[in-house]
């Protein structure tokens, strides 16, 4: 007898899980996630999942309860005799803590990987990790989806005349170089220096943007300070227009006002994290179809290579 696919959602990603299930051609599975009076979380599957391939959709953005909820869901699925348990994590929190960049700090992304494996996940499907090498922290398969499959078609329909791509920092250069190569476009780098987390001390532009339509691309937009400062600097250097494409809209602190008051033409984000409020400059693109296809390919043991278009040449 062929195993069934069942998709369930944590409370933090219900809005996205419903769209993923719809694109997949299924309805969300029944699960109750209740809390004791002290806040202790208890997930309960309200239908049998014995022998099924179970996909649990939950981004692990703040607060930490989203991560704990996912871990408990994984454990519950294992104990309910699911055949395979796949953690679908559109936004993988703690990814910025991927190394010891100073003494006596945690490597949070490795710790989270350990917890997911210890809880019983058989596979992880995620998108735009802050550092791709985080995949190596897992001892289980990781399907690492790329937002370029969503952003490239959007950029194409803009039909920008003098397209130039900008990396908001040196660490993003490889990601931006691949997309710039796809469009046969130029790229520049905004080199920043921080005094402390979320505070930029200085920034310089490496490259020429005079009369160019510049597209900034980043994986995370947290306070919006980097994007706002980079956009302002690019305009000062002669850019004709500046817009930003950012996968994960963390948007904490003064992010909404920083972006709204910036010189950016628009900020395009994905729906991996729910936005707390709407601002006129922000456009949201959905990752639901991309994850639905990834889920189907995982279920059918098919390759996900076809979901990546950033390495393909534009005119090939």
- Residue 150, pLDDT above cutoff 50: yes
Whether the CB-CB separation of 213 and 161 falls below 8 Å is answered with: yes
How many Cβ atoms are within 10 Å of 136's Cβ, its own excluded? Answer: 11
Q: What is the tens place of the pLDDT at every residue in 269-302?
A: 999 999 988 889 999 999 999 999 999 999 999 9
The encoded tokens of residue 293 equal: 């296809």
Predicted TM-score (pTM) of this structure? 0.93
Q: What is the tens place of the pLDDT at every residue in 49-67?
A: 999 999 999 999 999 999 9
- Mean pLDDT for the stretch of residues 91-115: 95
With bands split at pLDDT 50, 70 and 90, how would you rate the model's confidence at 117?
very high
The whole-number pLDDT of residue 27 equals 96
Domains of the chain: 5-145+289-307 (3.40.50.2020), 148-286 (3.40.50.2020)
Calculate the alpha carbon distances from 284 to 51, 185, 255, 267 in Å: 37, 25, 16, 9
Annotated catalytic residue, options 84, 192, 229, 276: 192
Nearest CA to 294 out of 174, 141, 152, 153 is that of 141
The whole-number pLDDT of residue 314 equals 46
192 is catalytic: yes
* 304 or 264, higher pLDDT: 264
């Amino acid at each position: 007898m062929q195993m069934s696919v069942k998709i369930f959602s944590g409370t933090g990603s219900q809005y996205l899980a419903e769209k993923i299930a719809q694109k997949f051609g299924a309805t969300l599975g029944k699960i109750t996630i209740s809390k004791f009076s002290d806040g202790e979380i208890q997930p309960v599957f309200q239908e049998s999942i014995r022998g099924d391939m179970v996909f649990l959709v939950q981004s692990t953005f703040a607060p930490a309860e989203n991560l704990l909820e996912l871990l408990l869901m994984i454990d519950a699925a294992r104990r309910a005799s699911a055949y395979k348990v796949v953690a679908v994590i559109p936004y993988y929190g703690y990814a910025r803590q991927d190394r010891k960049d100073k003494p006596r700090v945690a490597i949070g992304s490795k710790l989270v990987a350990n917890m997911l494996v210890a809880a019983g996940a058989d596979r992880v499907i995620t998108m735009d990790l802050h550092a791709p090498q985080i995949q190596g922290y897992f001892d289980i398969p990781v399907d690492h989806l790329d937002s370029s499959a969503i952003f490239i078609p959007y950029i194409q329909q803009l039909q920008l005349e003098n397209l130039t791509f900008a990396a908001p920092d040196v660490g993003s250069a490889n990601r931006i170089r691949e997309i710039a190569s796809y469009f046969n476009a130029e790229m520049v780098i905004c080199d920043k220096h921080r005094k402390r987390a979320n505070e930029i001390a200085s920034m310089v532009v490496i490259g020429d943007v005079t009369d160019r339509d510049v597209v900034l691309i980043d994986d995370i937009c947290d306070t919006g300070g980097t994007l706002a400062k980079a956009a302002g600097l690019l305009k000062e250097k002669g850019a004709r227009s500046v817009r930003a494409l950012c996968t994960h809209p963390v948007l904490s602190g003064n992010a909404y006002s920083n972006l709204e008051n910036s010189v950016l033409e628009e900020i395009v984000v994905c729906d991996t994290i729910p936005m707390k409020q709407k601002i006129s400059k922000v456009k949201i693109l959905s990752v639901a179809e991309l994850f639905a296809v990834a889920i189907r390919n995982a279920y059918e043991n098919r390759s996900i290579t076809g979901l990546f278009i950033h390495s393909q040449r534009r005119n090939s």
